[in-house]
Structure 1
Amino acid sequence: MSKFVAALPMYDWPEMRGEVDAQWVPLRDAFRQRGIDAPERMARSNRDLPPVPGGIRDGARKLIAPDPATLPPDEFDFHQLWLSPALLFGQTCWGPMELGLARHVQVVAQPSYDAIEGGQGELYSSALVMFSDGGPSVASPADGKAAIPLDLIRGKRFVFNNPDSMSGVLGLTRDLEALGEGLDIFGSRSESGGHRSSIVAVADGKADIAAIDCQSWALAQRFEPAARGVKVVGWTARRKGLPFITARTTPMDVVASMREAIAGLGLEGSVAEQPFVERVG
């Protein structure tokens, strides 16, 4: 059994499990061909994370996370995954990275969003969704610049997935600031816990507007019935998408071999600061 952990949790919706598993197989095999002890299956709960007696510590031996064995086994704490010293291959968001995670991990590759509206290469954006009045949705701007309908959203109830999410709140905040506004443009703000939950909240009338990253929006249009009750009224600016990461302690030769494996798969894009394709269907 591998001592390492791999997970692609950011778009691992229940309906996507088979597709996400299928994405892992060629990666796993390519890693193994280069002598990397890649795990057979991806982690999907706290019980799948190796225990760390005494808790997870950084390079200075400072405690940064509890022992995964002490967490609810059926839940999945993404921060715990990202900080695990056993993390071989995972995915995170640039929000947590900017807020301190980058000190504890290494970026292996950037995904490509070319196949998704709102994306271009390693860049992605968020769709601003509101309750549908039957009118058409706003298309993603070809130039990738923000398209924020200030008069439409002023005073509305804003719902976001998590406070450290680049796609759900931080990117929108920066776009608003560039327009001389801020989050106080909204009448209220609330946290939903996930992009899918934000879409449902808007469709159910519990909130008026949400920022949904373009890949999650694409998934919602496939799998979430509530998506039919909302429409896109604007877009945030494109910015760097969700990076694939490994633990800070992963040896550089292993990181280099993973990058070679990704490049050798024959998919569009490249590694490190260049895109790697994650197909959505």
Structure 2
Amino acid sequence: MSELIAALPMYDWPEMRDEVDAQWVRLRDAFRQKGIDAPQAIARRNGDLPPVPGGIYDAQSALIAPDSETLPPDELDFHRLWLHPALLFSQTCWGPMELGLSSHVQVIGQPSYDAYEGGQGELYSSAIVMLADGTPSVASPNDGSPLIPLDRIRGKRFTFNNLDSMSGLIGLTRDLQAMGESLDLFSSRSESGGHRASIVAIAEGRADVAAIDCESWALAQRFEPAAKEVAVVGWTGRRKGLPFITAATTPEKTVAALREAIAGLAEQPLIQRVG
């Protein structure tokens, strides 16, 4: 039994569990063909993570996270997952990466967003959504440039999934700054806890505007009834999508094998680029 950890938590909606599991099976089998002891199943809860007595330390012997065994077993703390020394393969967001995670992990590759409006290869953008008013949703610009409807969103209540989210907060912030604006154009800002929760908040009248990454928006249109009450009014600019990562301590030989394995899957929608 493998002592390593794998997880694909970023789009692991309850309705998507079978598809995410199938995605892992393709990856797992490709990794095993390269001699990697990939785990049979992905981790979905803190209780699935091996304990690290005394907590997780970085290369400089500084404590960077508590032992996952001290966390609620049926929840999943993404940051503890990403920092776990036994992490073989997972996905994260460039927001946390820019805020310090990059020094504790290695990037293995980038997924493809070609299947989603607002995506192109390894790049993705976020749909800016508001309560539907009968007007058609705005199409994503072909060139991937930001399309921010300042007049429609000014003075509105903005909600976002979390503070370190590139797709839900940081990307929009940078697009607004490039236009000489800031988040201060909103009358209020609130943290919803997730893209799906942001969509529900708008449909229920508790918020007015949110930025939802293009894959999450596609999932919402499939599975979230509240999405029928919401429409796209603009798009953020395209940026690099969620990277696949492994622990900083993963041996160089294993990292090379992981990259070779996902390169072999490059003809499938799952993978766009390695390195």
Q: What TM-score does the superposition give when structure 1 sets the normalisation length?
A: 0.96
Unaligned runs of 5+ residues in structure 1 are: 274-281
Measure the CA separation in 2 of the matches of 1:191 and 1:227: 18
- Partner deviation per Cα, 1:180-209 (whole Å, 9 max, x = no partner): 000000000000000000000001110000
- Calculate percent identity across the aligned residue pairs: 75
Q: Does 1:35 align with 2:32?
A: no
- Partner deviation per Cα, 1:194-227 (whole Å, 9 max, x = no partner): 0000000001110000000000000000000000
Measure the CA separation in 2 of the matches of 1:210 and 1:178: 19
**Residue matched to 2:274:** 272
Q: Does 1:114 align with 2:141?
A: no
- Secondary structure of 1:216's aligned partner: helix
Matching residue's letter, 1:227: A
**Residue matched to 1:229:** 229
Q: Assess if the C-alpha contact under 8 Å between 1:168 and 1:211 holds in 2.
A: yes
Count of paired positions: 273
Q: Assess if the C-alpha contact under 8 Å between 1:259 and 1:271 holds in 2.
A: no
Matching residue's letter, 1:252: E
Measure the CA separation in 1 of the matches of 2:210 and 2:272: 32
**Residue matched to 1:70:** 70
How much has 1:26 moved relative to structure 2? 1.4
How much has 1:265 moved relative to structure 2? 2.8
- Secondary structure of 1:169's aligned partner: helix
Q: How does 1:15-26 map to 2 (within 5 A)?
A: 15-26=15-26
Structure 1 residues 266 and 150, CA, compared in 2 at 3 Å: closer, same or farther? closer
Measure the CA separation in 1 of the matches of 2:80 and 2:258: 22
Q: Assess if the C-alpha contact under 8 Å between 2:266 and 2:272 holds in 1.
A: no
Which stretches of structure 1, 4 residues or longer, exceed 4 Å deviation after superposition?
Answer: none
Q: Assess if the C-alpha contact under 8 Å between 1:168 and 1:212 holds in 2.
A: yes
RMSD: 0.9
Q: Does 1:246 align with 2:223?
A: no
How much has 1:30 moved relative to structure 2? 1.2
- Partner deviation per Cα, 1:8-35 (whole Å, 9 max, x = no partner): 0000000000000000111101111111
Q: What TM-score does the superposition give when structure 2 sets the normalisation length?
A: 0.98
Q: How does 1:204-219 map to 2 (within 5 A)?
A: 204-219=204-219
- Secondary structure of 2:246's aligned partner: strand
**Residue matched to 1:279:** none
How much has 1:270 moved relative to structure 2? 4.8
Measure the CA separation in 2 of the matches of 1:168 and 1:27: 28
Matching residue's letter, 1:141: P
Unaligned runs of 5+ residues in structure 2 are: none
How much has 1:262 moved relative to structure 2? 1.1
Q: Assess if the C-alpha contact under 8 Å between 2:122 and 2:272 holds in 1.
A: no
Q: Assess if the C-alpha contact under 8 Å between 1:127 and 1:232 holds in 2.
A: yes
- Secondary structure of 1:110's aligned partner: strand
Measure the CA separation in 1 of the matches of 2:233 and 2:172: 14
**Residue matched to 1:278:** none
Measure the CA separation in 2 of the matches of 1:224 and 1:202: 13
